[in-house]
Structures are given as C-alpha cells and as structure tokens.
Amino acid sequence: MRLWITGSGIVSALGVGREATLRSLLESRSGIGTVRFLQTEHTEFPVGEVPMSDEQMEHLLGIAQGTPTTRTSLMGMLALGEALEQAQLTRDDLRKVAFVSGTTVGGMDRTEQYWLDLLENDKHNEFISTHDCGACTEMIADHFGAFASVTTLSTACSSAANAIIYGARLIENGVADIVVAGGAECITKFHLNGFNSLRILDTTPCRPFDATRTGLNLGEGAAFVVLESEAHALSRGVKATISLDGYGNACDAFHQTASSSDGEGAFRAMTEAIRNAGLTPSDISYINAHGTGTPNNDSSESAAMQRVFGSHIPPLSSTKSFTGHTTSASGSIETVICLLAMNNSFIPPNLNFNDSSDCVAPVAKLVEGVELNHVLCNSFGFGGNDSSLLLSKVKPASESRQASVSARTNAFPRPIYVLSAQHISAQQPFSRDWMQNPVRYAEPFVRSIEPDYKPFIPPMESRRMGRLLKRALAVSKSALAESGVENPDIIVTGTGLGCLENTQLFLDALCREGEYLLKPTHFMQSTHNTIGSLIAINMGCHGYNATYAHGSISFESALHDAMLQLCNTYHTTALVGSHDEMTPSYYNLLCKSGFLGNPGEMASECSVSVVLGENSRGNALCAIKDMVMLYQPSSNQLKQAVESLFSRNGLTSHDIAGILSGFNGSEGSRKDYCDHCGELFGDIPMLHYKHLFGECYSASALSMYVAACCLAERTIPQALYVTPSAEPVSISEHQALVLYNNDGKNHSLTLLTAV
C-alpha cells in the first residue's frame, strides 16, 4: 500500500516551521551554538537548541501562564500544529486520527528542575504527573483535541522513526485511516550529562564521518508527519508529493551503547526498507545518514552502507551537523528534512567535513538541481535499535487516479495464540499457586517476590544488572523455554517508567552532587528500551525490536504491534513483555500525585512475558481474537466499541465467561469500572486481579497472564470475582474472557478465547 505524506511540521535549532528550516539548509547555516536555555554547568559543549524559551513557546501556543507543561510537549505542539494545518485536518477530524509519538526524556526537564523539592516538600507536585513519556505525548495531543488513539514509542534515538513505522502499520492493517506520527525531545541536564559520562560529546561543532570526529553535539526539537493511504487522501481532496514506500527495523544485538563493527543492525534495517519498497539499492538517490559524529557510530554505519551498496554508495550526508543530535526526535526531524530536500531538489551538505580516510565520504557542499526520487533516512538508537525509512516521489499520474477507498476489514483476520506466559510479581514467581492459594497482603505497597536468578543469568552478569533487568531477562527466558521457541522473530516491550531505580540513582547524584563524576552505568540502564535490547543482546535476536512507554497502556501498545505483525507479515513468533519496578521514594511521589496510595488499593511491581505464535503448536494456553484501543472516548463511543467487538466475532454475552477489569479497590477505580461495566457489559461477571498482584504501570500485562492461566485451566478461581463466588467456576470450551483496561483516558478491550 502506498502511504502518502499529506502534512509535516518541524521545530529544531534551525527554527520553527518548514520555511525556516528550508532557509537554513539552503544557506548551509547550522543551528548549533553555545547553550542558552538549559541551566547546565557544561557550557563547553555546543548544542542545537530550539531558539525560543519555554515562555515564548507557551505564548505562541496560547497556553495560560502557570499551566504545567514540559519543553518536550511545547515543541511537539508547535510541530504537530503545522503538520495538521498542511494536511487540512481540523479539530473535528481528529476523532478518526491516531497519534503516535516517540520520546525518551519525556518531562525530565521539569523533573530534574524540581527533583529535590518533589522528594522533600510539596512545592511542585503538579509536575509529578508530567514526568513519564506517555504524559508528554498526551499533553501534545490534548492541546488539539480528542484523537482516536494515542501511544508512545521509546527506543532511544530511533523512537520517532519507529513511531512512523508503527503508524504505517496501523493504516496498512485497517486500524486507522490517518495517522500522525513522529517525535519530540528537549535537551535535559540528565541526558547531556549521561552522554558526557560516556565520553561521546564534542566540545566543538560535530563532524560526522570526518577522520577527526570526536563526538556528537546534542540537539532538541520535534517533527510529525501525517500519513494516509493514497486513496483516502484523494477521497478528501488532499494531494501529496512524497510517499512512505518502505521501512525496516532490526536489532544490532551487540551492545547497549556501542554499534557492531560490521553494522549488522543497520545493514538489516536498510536492506529491509529497500526490500519492503520493492526497490533495489541502485534505486536510492540519497541517504540521510544517522551520522552522529562519534567514532564508533560513523564507522559502523559506513560498514553497513558498504555492505548494502557495495562500491556504488549513493550521495549521503548527516544533517546532525545542522541540528545537533535530537535523539528521540531525530528520525522525524530528518524525515521532514528529506521531504524538503526532495521537494526542492537539493542535497543538504554534511557540514564541517574534510577528511574521509576511515569512513564513507559524504556530500560536503550543498548540491542543487538534483532529482531525488527515492531517499533512505536512517535512525539508530542505543541497544542497537536500528530503523530506516524509504521515501519516494509521488508520480503525477498517481495523483489523477479515481479515488477509491476500500472498506476496512478486521485488523486481526485470524487468532494469535498465547504459547506461554510467565510472571514475577507479588505472587510466587513462575507459579500458578495464586489460583488456589494466593499470597494476601495488607500493606499499601509491596515489592515483587524475587526468584533465584542463577538458573537464568550467570552471577558475573547478574551483578551488573539492576533489579528490573534481571527480572525481565529471567521471566523472558522462562516464557521462551515453556513455549519451545528458542529465538522469537520479534521482541516488543512495554514499560511505564523503565529502569526506574537506575534512573533515580543518576538523577539523584546529578541534583545533589553536581554535573561531574557521574556514573555511566546508571545512565546506560536508564533508557526505556534497555530492557528489550538486553533480551535481544543476550539471546542474539536481530529481528524487529520496539519499546512502548505510554503509562498504563504500555503493554497493550506492545501487544497490539506484535499482533498486527503476526497476522499480516512473515513473522511467526513474538516475545511480548511488560516490566516496571517501583522504588519507595517514587511510590511516595505517585501517592502525592494521586496515581497510587488511594484507600483500598495495593501498589506493587511486576515483570510479565508472553510468547505469541501465529499457530497453536498444539499446546497454546489460549487465543487472542481481537483488540481495540481508544483515547478519551465518549460513553456512546465506548459502548459502540464493545458492541462491535462482540458482533464481528459472532459473540453474545452468554459466550463471555467474565470481564477481567483493572479494578484496584479504590473508590475512583470503582467508578471507572464497577459502575461502568454494568452499562457496557450487562450481567457478565466482573473479575479483578490487582488485589492479588497490585497496581503499577505494567499491571495490565498481568491481566493477560491471569486470563491465559484461567483459559488454560478452564477455571476462574473464586478469588478473582469482584462479587464473591462460593467456588471456582468452569470455563466451557467455546467461552471467552474480555480484558478491559481504563486509566481515565486510555481504554483497551482484548478478547481471549479458550483453545
């Protein structure tokens, strides 16, 4: 399917908007300079800051003074507004539009500013809820209205590129008609000092691919593109000049922060993007390289390009010499730069380049009057998460075709099977004892029960890992062993807060001890995709690898991505997990914000891994038949979604054994679920699980685990009923369970059946 790009918006060190960006590129004028807005001790490092203060952006956006915002979300709003305007999308249109954003730092700029206050007093509690990645995405979305669905990718420097890939997949599979995808990221002291601790920052303007390169310059910004099918765009009278024809994502599976010498992940990503577009390497007109300016990245990417293109490497350049490395936003910022280059027939120069003795030679001067028909845009992130997008010129003949929008079909044409499911949680790890003899707690906060890690992780490796990484690796290995799948085709992970303990250790040292002598290990293990990349590195998995970090629907987002691929691509198995930890100090912060600590609920932490397959292999626990994700739906829209879920799967209320909800025992949760479920599901029995396992961002993954166990055992334990049952209830052969998650904004419905 040809996906048209009908709108784009960009904000970076080159200015606000496409026109300002184009002028800077054509004038070969870099936006990198001395730090102006970030309050850091490290003024020796050049940066690419957006040339506006937070207050100026708030004024431009019409945001009232005193409204809690983050710099990431403000830049995102500016870029999203420009993209929506060019695509001719109004506020009323958004209910049919999905929004996918990529970020890693999220609201860290506010968290690091007020960290000690947040811990020690109540001065700035309003910023607790702006910290996580999903919160920033929702702030961007909510500024414009109610989108159909919203989620967040967090794969470090490939986040925005992966958001675009997922957005393309949503359209190709009939889940959405239009998707706005991209990313936003501000510079923070946290990641400036993190990169400095790795010794990969340059004190002079960066020189990608140059023999004298010594590191990168950090940048910031945001960019979004509007994707829709050619037929759908024509049906609403909108045209495009550029299409997204291919994409690829692969894992280098080599190291958490370094790239392999042969660029295996980059090679696979570029090869897949070209193959996906039905092209050959000789068709590529230009490569916008990842090109960070670090010795390791540029030599690795050079090796990968030589493997793909041989001695006929197309013209290439890194535009990070203009913008700085905008980390999570780089994939979408550089995509928009590619659009500008293709539409205006020029190749942007690789500024500051002189000597290519150990790398491929980029274009050093502006080249104008060149036809760019097919362009490859590379984005490579920590953990070896490598992505490539392939953009093509739309031919004039295509624009004159008769518009014809085909009827949307079910996104999941066949069931996906749960081959295994394992957990480490407040209940006994790797065990179904909770079904007969659950561990009961009276405390408001409990941590997970730790297993013996020696069968899964050698002690020398284990001692270098944080608690969450050990849990995630152990539970993943256990689930894979139970399923009989040795090496999954894809790994998709969900996490609300990532490796929180290591993040806090780095943040606390930064705020209490200053910006020197910080430990790189804590920073290396702070990025959200550390979890998924660790699993891939440990098992040598080079396939698709993505991490979703959108609060309490992180797991559903990961599950949705995996299911779409298993139903509609050549992939046959997937490892899907969701992992979150909770420290006592952060628990106290979330109590202050009202997310946790409410009477009647128990907070905890968990790691869950499930192995999915396109066939049952004769031993599946259950089947996933369907899934729906909604953002801020009206009561009527939610009811229609439930009715549609039942009708397209040929089910009535008598076929549903129970609704496994996210009810956690608090009064607010009771209103969200108990009062709501009768209206949505009638007299179908309501079930719950958080009273046994606890509340956390990854708790919905436990609902998948619990439901899979119940369907495999054909029994619903008495302890799961909200209205107590005298004894366990049997599940008949053709009955199903519905998982319902609702965090107040995001709603998800997942249909599971017995096999």
Contact 352, 326 (CB under 8 A): no
Catalytic (active site) residue 560: no
Catalytic (active site) residue 542: no
Collect the ranges in the chain with pLDDT lower than 70. Answer: 396-410, 726
Q: Work out whether strand 656-661 and strand 686-687 pair parallel, antiparallel, or are unpaired.
A: parallel
Catalytic (active site) residue 541: no
Q: Which pLDDT does position 513 carry in this prediction?
A: 95
Three-state DSSP at 287 gives strand
User: With left for phi above 0 and alpha for psi between -120 and 50, is residue 248 left, alpha or beta?
Assistant: beta
Q: Which pLDDT does position 464 carry in this prediction?
A: 86
Instruction: Please report, for the chain, how many H helices and E strands are present, in that order.
Output: 25, 25
d(CA 7, CA 622): 42
Contact 215, 45 (CB under 8 A): no
Surface-to-core class of residue 366, CB atoms within 10 Å of its CB (0-12 exposed, 13-18 middle, 19+ buried)? middle
Q: Which pLDDT does position 643 carry in this prediction?
A: 95
Active-site annotation holder among 143, 191, 232, 325: 325
Task: Give residues with Cβ within 8 angstroms of 229, minimum separation 6.
Answer: 1, 2, 3, 4, 171, 177, 405
139-to-166, 259, 732 alpha-carbon distances in Å? 20, 34, 44
d(CA 162, CA 181): 9
Contact 519, 509 (CB under 8 A): yes
d(CA 7, CA 19): 14
Q: Which pLDDT does position 338 carry in this prediction?
A: 98
Nearest alpha carbon to residue 309 among 284, 290, 272: 284
Q: Which pLDDT does position 418 carry in this prediction?
A: 98
Q: Which pLDDT does position 652 carry in this prediction?
A: 93
d(CA 515, CA 527): 19
Question: How many beta carbons lie within 10 A of that of residue 243, not counting itself?
Answer: 24
User: What are the structural domains of the chain?
Assistant: 3-399 (3.40.47.10), 416-498+549-753 (3.40.47.10)
SS (H, E, C) 475-507: HHHHHHHHHCCCCCCEEEEECCCCCHHHHHHHH
Active-site annotation holder among 143, 290, 528, 571: 290
Tokens of 275: 């193959």
Q: Which pLDDT does position 82 carry in this prediction?
A: 98
User: With left for phi above 0 and alpha for psi between -120 and 50, is residue 654 left, alpha or beta?
Assistant: alpha
Q: Which pLDDT does position 149 carry in this prediction?
A: 97
Active-site annotation holder among 133, 136, 157, 541: 157
Contact 654, 623 (CB under 8 A): no
Q: Which pLDDT does position 409 carry in this prediction?
A: 52
